[in-house]
Structure 1
C-alpha cells in the first residue's frame, strides 16, 4: 500500500480482516467503526527496543493500518531478554528490519515503514508530520525532549513510556482532552534534560525483563484509546507502576506558564536541542571500538579505568583500576606515564565524559572511551580472547612495575 493510497480513507474491512479482528468487532465500543479507525490510523514508533517491541506487537495485531519504525541500532544478545521481537540468532541485524519482518508475518493487512537511523533534528519534524500518533520507546533524556518538542510543534499526541529497574511510567502528552484543550507535555513535568552522563538509562542501571513488556502494552493501550475514542486516555496523568509491589499510582500534572514551548518570544526550542544533543549525548569523540580495543591490548600495556560506582563493579567487572567518574580528574593529575588510557563504564556514556575530563589535562597519554562499554565487551564474539589478553596485559604491567 503506497503512502498516497493510505491517505484515502478505507470504508470497509476485507473478509480476512473481519476474521482477524473478530473479537474487537464483538465489543460494542469498538465494532466496525473502531476497527476502521484503527485501519485508517498511522503510528510512528521511535525505538524498537524494550518498549517498542511489545507496543509494536499489539499495535500491529490490533490492525493499525500504517506503522513506522525508526531505530538505528543492531540487535545485541543482551537485548533479547526483554526485546521480545528478536532472537539470539538475529544478532548483528538491524532492529527495525527484523521487527518489520516479524510484524508483517503477524499481520499481512497493514503497512510497515522503517528507517535505519536516529530520530534527530534533521528528520524529526518531517517524521512527526507524517503520522497521527507518536510513541516514545527511547531510553535517554535528550531523545525524549526532542520527541516531545517535535510533537508539540507538529500538534501530534505523544504516548510516553519510561522504565528503570523495577519502575515504569506511562502518560499521554500533547493530546486534546474532552474539552478540546491541548494537554500538558514533557516540559510541564521537567524543565529540561539533565547531563546524560549523570542520568543512567537501562544499559547503565538495568531493567527487569518483563517490565518493558508491561509498560509497552500500556502504551499500545493508550494509542488504541486515542484512535478509537474509547475510555479515558492518560492525559495530564502519569501512571507509575512498581513491578516489585505490583502496585500503580497516579500523578496529576497540568500545563505550566513558564514552559518554554509556549513562549512566543523564545526561539524554537528544537534549535536549542541541537546543542543539548551534541553536548550531553554520546558522540564519536575518543571512541575506541571493541575490535580496536582487542588489537590495542594485544600490542601494548594500557591503563584500563572503570568509572562505574562500587556496587556496579562488585556485580561484574573486566578488571582495570576502579576510579569512579567523580574522581577521574584527581587520577589524571597523578598519571605520569604515556601508556594509552582506555576508560569503560556500562554503556559508554560516563566513560566518554571521563575521557573529556582527562583530555583537558594535557596528558601525554592518548585517551579512549570504550564504545558500548561493558555491555558491548561482554556481548562480543571475541570476549573470551579479549579477557585472556587483559589477564596477560595485567601480568605484563605488574612485571614492568617491578622492573
Structure 2
C-alpha cells in the first residue's frame, strides 16, 4: 500500500458567502500536510480568490449554465441543480484519482448539497461534512453515505470566531489524516453482506460468517439499528456485493410503524434494484424500536417491551402490524431483478420471542407467518422451516440455498486463495 504524503483535498463551499471560512480551512489543510482543491458552489456571487472548479464548471457538470440555475425559480431549485453538478464533478475527479478526500461546509443549503456529493463518491474515499445541522433529524437516513463523517459546526453561521475555528481546524486535520490513513476496500474475494442485530438477539452470523469465509467470500456484517441498514443499502446501490443475506429486517418494520430507528423508505430495495441475489429472513420484524431515554411511546404502552440499554428499547408489534409488515416485505421482494429466497422460521424470529422471554407473543408470530405464506409469490422462493431463527436448521437452510445458487452460477464462486 503506497502512502499518500500530501493528500489532495477537495474543499466545497459557497465562496461568495463563506470566503473567510474556506480560506481559513485551506490554510488548516496545508498546515496538516494536505493540498486544497477548491470547488465553488456559489450561485449569485463570486469568491474573492481563484478556485480550481468554479460555479460555471459545476453548472456545466449538471448540463446547464449558472445563468439558468440563477433564474430557476428559488434557492431550493438552484441549489438542487448545483448539487447535481457538484456530485457529478466530484465523482469524475474521484474516478480519475485526482482527489484523496472531500470536505464540505454549510448550513442547511450546503449540507443538502454535500450529502449528494458524499453519496456519489466511492466507499473508502474519505468524506466529511462540517454542518450546522449535523446529527439532526433534518437529515433522513437515506441521505447518509455509508462511510460519511460529520462534525457539528458550532458558531458557524456567520464569520470566523474562536468557537467555529476550533471546529474547522479539527475537521481539516481529520480529513487530511483520514486521506493519509485510509485503506481502500480490496476486492480479492466476492463480498457477501449479512444483516443482523447483536448476538443477544440474533445469532446466525456466528455460524454463517466463518462458513462463507471458508467458501472463499469476504463477509461484511451490518448492524440493523437504523444506520447499519442504511450503509448496507448505500453499498448495494453501488453494486458492492456479490450476494446479500438480509436476515434482519427490523428496520423495515420500524419504518412502517413510525419508529425513528429506521433506514429510510427504500430499505430492502437497493439490492434487488441492482440485480444482486438475496436470501432474506424476517429477523426481529416483531420489535418496534424507540429511544430508551424518551420512555415508552403512548401507542406502545400496552405492549411488552425490552430495554436493551440506555439508548435503545423495543416493544412488540401486534398481529395487525405484523400482517402489514409481511405484505410490505413481499411487495418489496417482488420488484427485485435478481433471484430472491425468503426463509420463514415459524418457530421464532429473535431470541426474546421465545417462551418465557419478555417479547413472547405466539399469536402475533402465527399471524405473521400466515401472512408471509400468503404474500410471497413466485418468482420469490419461499422456504418455511418449523425451527427458530437462532437454530442450526436455519443456518443449514440459508447455506443450502447459497450453495445451490453458487452451483447454478447465480452467485459467483468464492476464492479460497487471494493475491498477497
TM-score, with length taken from structure 1: 0.30
Instruction: Please identify which structure carries the higher helix content.
Output: 1
TM-score, with length taken from structure 2: 0.29
